[in-house]
Chain A
């Protein structure tokens, strides 16, 4: 090849200059074939440096560019932008890391210099094999599918519809609102007032941009960010299916609760042993009564039911259990209320005060170990518990169990359909619990609310707003999306159609074309990990910018 490769070495202030003999590097590589020019510069990432590079690319009429400087993790993008500025295809450039991997790692200057020369030589040989890669732009659909009509789904739908996006809201049950709609009241620090939830449901029904499908599930999802094709199945009177196209998906399928029947120690099934949801319904109807029709004179509320089995804290149960105690104390005269807890979780700013007030009203808080046994005792119920090495018991008229929040029933099927992972507790898994708690590995699919684990209502709402924000800023009507450029491609002439690669690709980016009898990569879905390449027995797959010849060149140069 008659290349015109330009090599630019950055001094990086003293960082590289002091630890690598740059003149020696220049002397060594200047003699290499295809190298047009080798120059040094004090700080290439500075504005002056970028301007210098841009001018050099044009002036020297370079065919390829090598910059020997810092880590590609730091400035690859910077120099690729310079290339674009200079109307030079950024994939004809290679950044060689002589700072972190040579100057800073090797104390002997001669050794560091020798290693830098090796790396730069390898880079020069590699870059000569680079081909220009072009960005593709594809149309995107700004509409969104929201799965689940609890507070999380309602909030996401309203935020998106508010910006004129069409939203397909799919709810499995016959009505919207999820668990929040079944509660008796919210916590006092949340304003107690449940009409807030009713208002949201109203707003969703009245919003023209939101197409609500109740008694419905998502039957099929295909595609990728900006271009998903979905099928919504509806049961009941309006049964049938509807096809739609959306650009993004929000999964807000919420949670179910631990079934206390799974463990007989909780006594579920005994008369007057209720779950928290059943108790919420009783409060809602205004009648907290025993089977006998009489109001209870003593109630034990048991926290952490299923915590041991599930292995995590459900975060909301302590607060609503205290809410129950307040209700009982305020509405039934002379009722005796005990709360048996393992650990108290009072995470929000007014929770502590709420707890102190309950104590003032005479609620007994009893710390117990997880081993609690609930048994019938005549007309009453005996709760046996262990505390500080001793076994104790109380006898009460009514028991309320606060069961753990668990993943909603269809979570595994939905995860399979959407190709998104679950965590070890069976909830949808975030890309990163701390840094990116609403994204999934599949671009364009977001998760919000209790679908990723126990949360209260405000936390669920915040996540939905965040997911909506991500969607509103990434899918803009009229704006095209640019998928990854360094993707894999299958060379038709080599593919035997064995389909081995299909099972390797996590993203489902490879499809078998049965007409041609070969496999094809959908470049809009492929993320360019390169996993499929090594699996192909025919060597038919090429990972752009990380091709076999390019990497092989690097290996050979390393061994010289």
Chain B
């Protein structure tokens, strides 16, 4: 597996519009450095993050997938993030039973003011994924 320094993982981040996306915007406004490998997909609520998106994204070669929503109790639609949490737990189980690396997916609560947290978790996650190396499925699919 290619683990050298030039390897740049591809990470997809699903961000809810009201908290996490706003927090990410703020990180930009504050000129915080965010890994270039992260691609953000905006959804209205973390409850819209269909487990299929995560699975498909992974099967199509994403090296890591981040789910982000408002803190519990703060969801703009009241309970969407609880759905996200349940689905995340389910996804972890699916990953485990299929023998996939469940460290490649994660869920975080990031509020509209938590730009530093956004910068920190994206950086840490990108480093971790880099350590894990490329998604093994990627080669299968692209070869």
Interface residues of A (CB under 8 A from B): 71-74, 97, 99-101, 103-108, 111-112, 114-115, 118-119, 122, 421, 441, 486, 504, 506-507, 527-531, 533-535, 543, 546, 548, 551-552, 554-556, 558-559
Q: Can you give 27 contacting A-B residue pairs, CB < 8 Å?
A: A100-B27, A105-B27, A108-B36, A115-B39, A504-B47, A507-B77, A529-B80, A530-B48, A531-B47, A531-B77, A531-B79, A531-B83, A533-B48, A534-B49, A534-B51, A534-B87, A546-B48, A551-B43, A552-B53, A554-B41, A555-B57, A555-B60, A558-B10, A558-B12, A558-B57, A559-B61, A559-B62
Which one of A486, A529, A534 has the greatest number of beta carbons of chain B within 10 Å?
A529
> Known contacts A101-B24, A421-B78, A559-B10; is A529 also within 8 Å of B60 by CB?
no
Q: Select which of B39, B43, B49, B79 is within 8 A of A118 by beta carbon.
A: B39
Q: Are A531 and B12 interface neighbours, CB within 8 A?
A: no
Q: Is there a chain A Cβ closer than 8 Å to B109's Cβ?
A: no
8 more A-B residue pairs beyond the given contacts A101-B40, A551-B41, with a C-beta to C-beta distance below 8 A = A100-B24, A100-B29, A104-B28, A107-B33, A108-B36, A534-B83, A543-B48, A559-B10
B21 within 8 Å of A by Cβ?
Answer: yes
B62 neighbours in A (Cβ, 8 Å): 555, 558-559
Q: Which of B12, B17, B36, B47 contacts A111 (CB 8 A)?
A: B36
Chain B nearest CB from A218 CB (Å) reads 22
**Taking chain B's interface residues, is the majority helix, strand, or loop, or is none over half, making it mixed?**
mixed
Is B52 close to A, CB under 8 A? yes
Bound Cα distance A114, B87 (Å)? 32
- In contact, B57 and A559 (Cβ under 8 angstroms): yes
Given A104-B31, A529-B80, verify A546-B61 contact (CB < 8 Å). Answer: no
Chain B nearest CB, measured from A95 CB (Å):
10
> In angstroms, how far is the closest chain B Cβ from the Cβ of A290?
49
Interface residue ranges, B against A (CB under 8 Å): 10, 12, 17, 21-22, 24-25, 27-29, 31-34, 36, 39-45, 47-53, 56-57, 60-62, 76-80, 83, 87
Question: Which B residue's beta carbon lies closest to that of A99?
Answer: B28
**B12, B31, B42, most chain A CB atoms within 10 A:** B42
CA distance A107 to B32 in the complex (A): 9
Query: Please, how many angstroms separate the alpha-carbon atoms of A441 and B76 in the complex?
Result: 8
When A104-B29, A105-B33, A108-B36 are in contact, do A530 and B12 touch as well, CB less than 8 Å? no
Q: Point out the residues of chain A lying under 8 angstroms from B39, CB to CB.
A: 115, 118-119, 122, 558
